[in-house]
A and B are shown apart, each in its own frame.
Chain A
Amino acid sequence: MTPVSPPPESLHEFLENLKAAPRHIYETAFRSGKPATDRSRSTFIFGNVFLHLHSVRTHRWTLRWSTTMGLGIITTSAFLITLITGVMLMFYYKPFPEAAYDSMKDIHFVVPTGRFMRNIHRWAANVMVLAVILHMARAFFTASYRKPREYNWLIGLGLLVVTLGLSFTGYLLPWDQLAYWAITIGANIAQSPREVTDALGITQYFDPGGLQKLLLLGSDVVGPEALIRFYLLHVMILPLALAALMGVHFWRIRKDGGLARPADADKRLGPPPAGTCPIFTEAPQRTYHLAAVVRGKTPAVNNGPENTVPAMPHLFYAELGVFMLTVLICLALALVSDAPLKELANPNIPENPAKAPWYFLGLQELVSFSAFMGGIGVPAIVLLGLGLIPYLDRETEGTGEWFGGPGGWPLVRRSILLGLGSTLLVETLVIRFGWLREWFPTIPQLIITAVNPATILTTIYALYSLWLIRKYRSTRAGALGLFTCFLCGFLVLTIIGTYFRGPNWVFYWSPGDWPKH
């Protein structure tokens, strides 16, 4: 036999490999196969770069609807929706003053699905802001910020600030009247430390307000420089910051031992319901050596680690469900309500009333008494207070439970009444009788900066909180009262700013009473 032609086996092998290539590509991409056993359910997660931020097993307490209400996943889902629709909008958007407005008109009237994309983007952004606020309230009321989750609470605060920053920067981009005047007001709030430095007469030596406005706008008025800066922040700097912080936030959940739960969670849960993927199908052959990596005690031999179930399918199906629900909500809202687009920005005629997005209208209400205290002073105090909560409340009672801690729900109920009552009372008085300047036109500005509805309400809440700390001998009780009061204040002021303020920021019972012009 002389080997003149290649042996027929190699050609045969080549064809076989070619035929098997699709199957092999699939198998090399998804090495663990179907998640059917404990082992393959685990490798399904830690063998996948995108999924492995999750732990492979989830405590059953985490999966209860009332533990999280899915708010974190709603926020994340809304962010993903804004990310995708935002990139789609970037195909047509041009960040230069009049061109920006024209491109918005194109997106609205000419671009296929353009208006729908913009509506989804805008609604998902609103859903994200609302969900992130509620998510923070959930983490607070279940005392989930406590040791060892203090740092993740701080990361969460950072995420709140970046989320609000994304909304604020996105507000300018349409370059219509609403955008232009809301950002003019916002930029002048950044400049409002001048309210204090002017009153002290030191602005020419020390002018942090002017510097903030200059850095934000790149000029002294809202113009092309401001638009390109807001665009850069909106599509690049803030999304990257948000993504980085989100990565840390999720990773820390694992490192901090999953979500917070009561000490007796296992007892209260009882035996797992039918249809749960079993705690463990086969007894593991050895102890889990997690002690060095994860906080908590090492699980015993032949026992599943605590009361956990495989994240695949239980956690993933829950997350997928929440994601689909978020998509559904955003699509439904986008179908029934169009994002507004007013006339082209006109620097000579302010929009009247010029209203910021709804979540800033509470601040705008406070700003209508003192720009510095309402726009910078009190928000800074609130952020500082929120950041300090986990470091001042070192208690353990009630962790992982709704309204946990001394006082509990009755305390929160009383705080709701006090928060709503005091805010409504102060607002009623200033709307009915005016404020210091109307009574004493020559009063020094520093007195108004120090004494106005923003500082009065903050003082009432703070004194109430100190009284609670003394009464219950517990920092947690004070924090519960303070947080509830601020939340109620935010709610009342936002509703007044949104529905009851008309032209010239005058109080009206309904928009139907606004003067025609």
Chain B
Amino acid sequence: MSTAGPPPPSRLDPEPVPRRDILGLAAMFSAAAASFFALVGMLRMPKAAVLSSPSKRFKAILPDNLQAGEAFVPPGRSVALFRDGEGVYAISTVCTHLGCIIKPAQDGFECPCHGSRFTGDGSVKRGPAPRALPWLKVSHTGGNWIVDEGAPVPPGTKVQA
């Protein structure tokens, strides 16, 4: 019957959450949040925005006597260039497993680090490599072949001179 709620708290009772604790907690929380965001902001610095590695585009001169299915690796580059009746194409020689440089072998490629084998079109034959070798963009301008290691193209893309 009686609808009287709990008696009004006495002035002498302690507050459920003392005001000072609230202020103290708020201060600590702001300090922690500020430090956290400062740290996250600082972590942007080690994440390089510009990569210092050499340019991925380069000019290649194919030997005249390059046979179909024979690989030509331009010096200092990790790309194998091929020429057959349908045109010129480039396959990356960086192993998709752990980044070793693979060697062109008979009918395919071999990785020296963990024994991955690839067929002549770059697909995985055996070993731990998780993906096929990417085909790279080749273009023909002014009598030169330009290869772009940073631009993968669908396998089977061959370019006529």
Residues of A that sit less than 8 Å from B by CB: 181, 184-185, 187-189, 191-192, 195, 198-199, 211, 214-215, 218-221, 223-225, 229, 347-350, 352-354, 367-371, 434, 437-438, 441, 445, 448-449, 503-506
Contacts and interface: CB of A to CB of B under 8 A. Distances in A.
A185 B99 contact: yes
B2 interface: no
Contact of A353 (B101, B112, B127): B112
Interface in B56-85: 76-78
Contacts, number: 99
Contacts of A434: 126
B78 A350 contact: no
Interface SS of chain B: helix, strand, loop or mixed?
Answer: loop
Interface stretch (B14-22, B29-37, B46-54, B135-143): B46-54
B112 A214 contact: no
A482 to B, nearest CB: 26
A423 to B, nearest CB: 18
Chain A CB within 10 A, most for which of B100, B112, B127, B128: B128
Interface of B: 46-48, 51-53, 76-78, 97-101, 110-115, 123-128, 130-131
9 contacts: A187-B99, A220-B53, A350-B101, A350-B112, A352-B113, A353-B113, A369-B128, A371-B97, A437-B125
Contacts of B48: 214, 218-219, 225
Contact of A503 (B51, B52, B112): B112
Given A368-B127, A371-B128, A445-B131, 6 more contacts: A195-B130, A214-B48, A218-B46, A225-B48, A352-B113, A370-B128
Contact of A185 (B78, B100, B123): B100
Given A220-B53, A224-B52, A371 B112 contact: no
Contacts of B78: 348
B126 A219 contact: no
Given A219-B52, A368-B115, A438-B126, A184 B110 contact: no
B47 A354 contact: no
A40 to B, nearest CB: 45
A437 B126 contact: yes
A348 B53 contact: no
Contacts of B52: 218-219, 223-225
A188 B98 contact: yes
Nearest to A438: B126
Contact of A350 (B100, B115, B123): B100
Contacts of A448: 128, 130
Interface SS of chain A: helix, strand, loop or mixed?
Answer: helix
A221 to B, nearest CB: 5
B125 A441 contact: yes
A227 to B, nearest CB: 11
A513 to B, nearest CB: 16
A185 B98 contact: yes
Contact of B113 (A211, A221, A350): A350
Given A350-B113, A504-B115, A506-B115, A371 B47 contact: no
Nearest to A439: B126
Contacts of B126: 434, 437-438, 441
B127 A371 contact: no
Contacts of B113: 181, 185, 350, 352-354, 504-505
Contacts of A220: 51, 53
A507 to B, nearest CB: 10
A103 to B, nearest CB: 21
Contacts of B111: 504
A354 B113 CA distance: 6
B130 A184 contact: no
Contacts of B130: 195, 198-199, 370-371, 445, 448-449
A367 B76 contact: no
A215 B46 contact: yes
Contacts of A505: 113-115
B39 to A, nearest CB: 14
Nearest to A504: B115
Contact of A354 (B77, B100, B127): B100
A395 B46 CA distance: 45
B99 A188 contact: yes
A258 B51 CA distance: 51
Nearest to B101: A350
| The 6 nearest A-B residue pairs measured at CB | A352-B112, A188-B98, A188-B99, A368-B114, A350-B100, A505-B115
Nearest to B99: A188
Chain A CB within 10 A, most for which of B46, B111, B113: B113
Contacts of B131: 198, 445
Contact of B53 (A211, A221, A369, A370): A221
A452 B14 CA distance: 63
Given A199-B130, A368-B115, A369-B128, A189 B98 contact: yes
Given A181-B113, A195-B130, A437 B47 contact: no
Contacts of A191: 99
B46 A437 contact: no
A367 B114 contact: yes
B106 to A, nearest CB: 15
